[in-house]
């Protein structure tokens, strides 16, 4: 994407976007004066100002193009079909209904059908991980990146561990905060962010969150975290945000490893731009 800005600056005046007429994230203007939270935050301090690097897992640490989450999504439908004796297409419709109403399909199943979350998570994450290859560029970027690195996911710990092992980056992460740690209350529920911050002693003002979901970035920005939208996200998820999204999506990238590599060098984040 055109236009890049380094961690040493994070400054950026407004460009030609109106907050009253939302535009796709890919064409958002730079940070406006109405949202100065990341602007100048690292001026003078450079990378030393960032203490915590927080990463979503699915479709963020690995590319959505490998379609790993597509397998999980299908398993969700199969679980519901078996549980309720529904045709697969009817199960899929119920799955998406629960996802939009509750934030995760699991929470909808727990609230409406008293589903055992452990059994559900084990079933939906029983997938073929051969689509996830070791990511040498991501491994190298994380190696050069100073600070604490944590995974913050709506998935299970077991799934997260399998994925980061497949990527060859497990050694970089100090902790995983999963859906069980969240009390099965998923992102973007604000309470879950509070619990995550308290559990891992995260200073939001010195943190960066990487996510493939616009909705999951909003509570983080409200707490003072710098946010990076990793594209493309899951197919079918609305990542256009709302009329206020220019205030809480600070950067956009389609190349996580490149962004991190340049961030570690204190130069313009690669593969991305200010939102």
Domain ranges in the chain are 25-62+133-274, 68-129
Q: Is the model's pLDDT at 37 over the cut of 80?
A: no
Nearest to 11 by CA among 46, 34, 42: 42
Q: Is the model's pLDDT at 100 over the cut of 60?
A: yes
Q: Is the model's pLDDT at 15 over the cut of 50?
A: no
- The per-residue pLDDT for 7 is 33
124-153 residue pLDDT tens: 999 999 999 999 999 999 999 999 999 999
- The per-residue pLDDT for 247 is 78
CA 215 to each of CA 127, 189, 227: distance values in angstroms, whole numbers, following the listed order: 26, 10, 11
Look at 172 and 41; give whichever has higher pLDDT.
172
CATH 3.40.190.10 is right for the domain spanning 25-62+133-274: no
Query: What is 68-129's CATH topology?
Result: DNA polymerase; domain 1 (1.10.150)
Equal CATH topology for 25-62+133-274 and 68-129: no
Q: Is the model's pLDDT at 255 over the cut of 70?
A: yes
The pair of structure tokens assigned to 261 is 């590599």
Calculate the average pLDDT of the chain: 81
Q: Which of the four pLDDT bands, split at 50, 70 and 90, describes residue 48?
A: low
Location of structure tokens 């010195």: 206
List all residues 6 or more positions away from 130 whose beta carbon is below 8 Å from its beta carbon: none
DSSP letter assigned to residue 140: H
- Cβ atoms 257, 244 nearer than 8 A: no
> For residue 214, with 0-12 CB atoms within 10 Å meaning exposed, 13-18 middle and 19 or more buried, which class applies?
buried
**In the chain, % of residues over pLDDT 70:** 74
- Please state, in angstroms and rounded to a whole number, the distance separating the CA atoms of residues 234 and 69: 8
Q: Which of the four pLDDT bands, split at 50, 70 and 90, describes residue 27?
A: very low
- Please state, in angstroms and rounded to a whole number, the distance separating the CA atoms of residues 52 and 77: 35
DSSP letter assigned to residue 65: G
- Please state, in angstroms and rounded to a whole number, the distance separating the CA atoms of residues 160 and 173: 11
Mean pLDDT in residue range 179-205 = 96
155-164 residue pLDDT tens: 999 999 999 9
Q: For the beta carbon of residue 243, count every other beta carbon within 10 angstroms.
A: 11
Nearest to 211 by CA among 191, 198, 193: 193
List all residues 6 or more positions away from 116 whose beta carbon is below 8 Å from its beta carbon: none
Q: Which of the four pLDDT bands, split at 50, 70 and 90, describes residue 5?
A: very low
259-269 residue pLDDT tens: 998 888 876 55
């Amino acid at each position: 994407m055109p236009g890049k800005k380094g961690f040493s600056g994070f400054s950026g005046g407004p460009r030609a976007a109106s907050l009253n007429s939302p535009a796709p994230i890919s064409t958002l203007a730079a940070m406006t004066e109405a949202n100065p939270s990341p602007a100048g935050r690292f001026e003078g301090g450079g990378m030393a100002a960032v203490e915590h690097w927080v990463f979503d897992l699915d479709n963020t640490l690995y590319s959505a193009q490998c379609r790993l989450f597509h397998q999980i999504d299908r398993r969700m439908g199969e679980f519901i079909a078996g549980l309720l004796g529904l045709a697969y297409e009817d199960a899929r419709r119920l799955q998406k209904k629960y996802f939009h109403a509750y934030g995760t399909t699991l929470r909808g199943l727990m609230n409406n059908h008293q589903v055992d979350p452990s059994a559900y998570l084990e079933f939906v994450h029983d997938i073929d991980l051969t689509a996830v290859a070791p990511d040498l560029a991501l491994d190298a970027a994380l190696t050069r990146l100073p600070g604490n690195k944590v995974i913050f996911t709506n998935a299970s710990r077991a799934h997260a561990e399998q994925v980061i092992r497949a990527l060859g980056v497990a050694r970089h992460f100090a902790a995983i905060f999963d859906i069980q740690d969240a009390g099965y209350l998923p992102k973007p529920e604000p309470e879950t962010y509070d619990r995550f911050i308290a559990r891992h002693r995260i200073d939001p003002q010195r943190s960066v969150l990487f996510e493939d979901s616009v909705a999951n970035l909003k509570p983080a920005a409200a707490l003072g975290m710098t946010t990076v939208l990793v594209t493309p996200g899951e197919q079918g998820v609305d990542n256009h945000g709302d009329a206020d999204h220019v205030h809480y999506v600070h950067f956009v990238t389609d190349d996580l490893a490149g962004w991190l590599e340049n961030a570690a060098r204190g130069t313009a984040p690669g593969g991305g731009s200010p939102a």
